[in-house]
Amino acid sequence: MPRFSFIRASYILLCLLTLSPGALLAAPPEGYRFLPLTAAAEQASAANKPMLLYFGRYGCSTCRKMHAEVFSDTAVNKQYNTEFVLAYVDTESGNRIRLANGETTTEMQFATRSRILGTPTFIYFSPEQKPLFKKAGFQSIEQMARYGDFVAQGHYRTMSLQDYLASL
């Protein structure tokens, strides 16, 4: 099965430098400060903040459901807008991404090679730009809050996400 690996996710964060100027966001949730991936990675690095990378798709029904039922939550909004730098990639767009190794590719090809099977897919990164874990599909308000706490409060430094969730 396609797999998420820290090596692949490291590539995601560390290799990206700039997005083409014409790159536009397709459909991230309203009320959130989602940025193109490179700008988000640079901002996260400069601010020493964790980053949430959201792979979405224009018209994705599960994304819409999360926007309406989860991202609309005031606490989720406050937590993620305050404690995270937010990045959005449209998995079907032709927006170009320029990589640090000199390669220019599209968001769609980037998502393909990152083995993103479905949307939404969320990848959490530590302030040290280390990919921590991936979550695919619908996530509830409670789940998003707990994932956010696990990363933003630094629990990832001492335990796995599974252990953290079991401890609650």
Partner 1 sequence: MLRIAVLCLGLASLTAQATDRWAFEAKTAVTGSPVSGVYPHLDGAGRKHVAVAENSVAAVWEDNRSRTPQVYVALKANDREQFSKAMQVSDGSEAYEPAIVSLPKNRFVLAWEQDGAVHARVMNEDGPGAPVKLGSSTSSHVSLASFGERVFAAWREQQDRRWFVKVAALRVPGARKLSVESVTPVEAAGLETRVLFPSIAVNEAGLSVAWEDRRAGHTRLLISHSPDQARSFGDPQHLNEFLSNRNQYDQGNGVTRVALASFAQDEILAAWMDKRRGGLGYGIFAALGSDGGAIFGPNEKVHGEEGDQQPHYNPAVAGNPNGDFVVAWDDFRRGDSDIWLSAYNEDEEWSQDFSPPVASGGGEQSHPAIALDNQGRLHLLWMERGDMDSPGRLWYSRGIPR
Amino acid at 15: C
| Closest CB to partner 1 among residues 71, 150 | 71
Q: By CB under 8 A, is residue 117 in contact with partner 1?
A: yes
Q: How far is CA 144 from CA 16, 33, 52, 92, 148, in A?
A: 26, 17, 11, 25, 6
**Shortest distance (Å) from residue 168 CB to partner 1:** 27
**Shortest distance (Å) from residue 118 CB to partner 1:** 6
| 58 Cβ contact list (under 8 Å, min separation 6) | 26, 27, 90, 92, 93
| Closest CB to partner 1 among residues 2, 162 | 2
Among 59, 153, 154, 159, binds partner 1 (CB under 8 A): 59
d(C-alpha 132, C-alpha 17), whole Å: 21
Q: By CB under 8 A, is residue 106 in contact with partner 1?
A: yes
Among 149, 125, 126, 127, smallest CA distance to 48 is for: 127
Q: Rule CB under 8 A: which residues touch partner 1? A: 2, 11, 15, 22, 57-62, 64-65, 68, 92-94, 96, 101-106, 108-109, 112-113, 115, 117-119, 137
